[in-house]
Each structure stands twice: as C-alpha cells, then as structure tokens.
Chain A
Amino acid sequence: DAGVIQSPRHEVTEMGQEVTLRCKPISGHNSLFWYRQTMMRGLELLIYFNNNVPIDDSGMPEDRFSAKMPNASFSTLKIQPSEPRDSAVYFCASSLGGLAGVELFFGEGSRLTVL
C-alpha cells in the first residue's frame, strides 16, 4: 500500500492568502485525522472524521480553519485567510476504527510557511 498521501509537501504563501492541504488516506481505513505540529505545542489534533463524518473538531483553532471529507479517499484542510502563526507542519493520519487504542498511520506532512 502507498500509505497516507499528502500534498503539497511544502507551501510558502503570504499572509491573507488561502491555503488548501490535501490528504488521501489508506484504502479501507474509516477514520481520518488532521494534526498540526509546532515546536511550542507539539502534536495537536485539529479534527477527526469517522466514515467521512466530522466527529470532533474541538481542536480547530478558529473559523479560519475548515476541513472536509467528501468521500472515503479524500480530505482537505483549508485556511482562509492564512496568518504567520499558522506556520507549522500539518499531518494527516488514518486508521481502522475510532480515536483511541488503534494505530495511527501518518502521512509525511505538509510544511506550511506563511510570510
């Protein structure tokens, strides 16, 4: 299997621009997670989907962030408008099952820099 695929790997943009990050989970996995990694805050869960339905979005920092999962093989995380403090590595992960007690399979991440 190809694993979790994320794009783009690197994105540099200017403050105020819209950013869209994309994720293709492992085929057959029914849960998908978006994480943000920074030096200060570590790995933070932003949102979690189960069977394409958003279950827990309590980690989404504010209304500028939105995520969709239109089908089982694709998800997007959008930031509009972007700000310098959004600079981080964003990871998508998928799993078979729910939030806890199951192995998470992470993609290689999308490194976002907002100038």
Chain B
Amino acid sequence: GENVEQHPSTLSVQEGDSAVIKCTYSDSASNYFPWYKQELGKGPQLIIDIRSNVGEKKDQRIAVTLNKTAKHFSLHITETQPEDSAVYFCAASNRNRDDKIIFGKGTRLHILP
C-alpha cells in the first residue's frame, strides 16, 4: 500500500521568510496530492491540492510542486505570517481506484516574530 513520508517534523522560520515542507510517496499510481493545515484545537483543513497531470500549482502565497519521476512533492509558503503557524499534512491517493487518502505524519511550522 501507499506510504507517505514527510520532512521536517518541525520547522521554525522568521516572519517574512519562506518555508518548504517536503513529502515522498511510494505508490507510483498515486495521482492526487492534497495538503491540509491544522490549527491548534481544530481539525485539518484543505489548503491546496495537486493532481498528477500538472507539475506546479499556486494560490497566493502557497504553491505545491510535484515530481512524479522522483515521487516527491513539496509545499512552499512565501512571505510567512504569524497565522501560518500550524501543523501541515501532506497526503496521497489514487483517484482512479478511489483509494483511501494516506497522510504524512505532519510538520509543525513555527513563525518567529
């Protein structure tokens, strides 16, 4: 089955700097890669996703890149702000097989003032 590895587990960046979180997956058939943000005391919330037919997707200050050959994908947050502090989860699944979404272990992002 699918296995998703996420790094780093904790990341601290200065406010205004960029943050990058990286994930790898094992099943080459996976074709859907969402990213969820979990704020303290809340449930995870989808912030962006990418499908295997594109290599990059942007939404304001966040972007995701996908390298299918290497089986890795990344989340990039630019111009970080205090409200970006949260736990971020990457995930992977196969939409064609309607497989369950497998989540990474999460990255706790701290934005330093």
**A-to-B contact residues, CB < 8 Å:** 4, 42-43, 45, 48, 56, 91, 93, 98-101, 103-104, 106-109
Contacts and interface: CB of A to CB of B under 8 A. Distances in A.
Main secondary structure, interface of A, reads: loop
B61 interface: no
Contacts of B104: 42
Interface in B51-71: 51
Contacts of A99: 93, 98-101
Interface of B: 32, 34, 36, 41-46, 49, 51, 89, 93-95, 97-101, 103-106
Nearest to A3: B43
B43 A106 contact: yes
B43 A107 contact: yes
Contacts of A107: 43
Main secondary structure, interface of B, reads: loop
Contact of A106 (B32, B44, B100): B44
B44 A100 contact: no
4 tightest A-B contacts by CB?
A106-B43, A101-B95, A100-B93, A43-B103
A56 B49 CA distance: 24
B105 A45 contact: no
Contacts of A56: 100
B4 to A, nearest CB: 9
B97 A43 contact: no
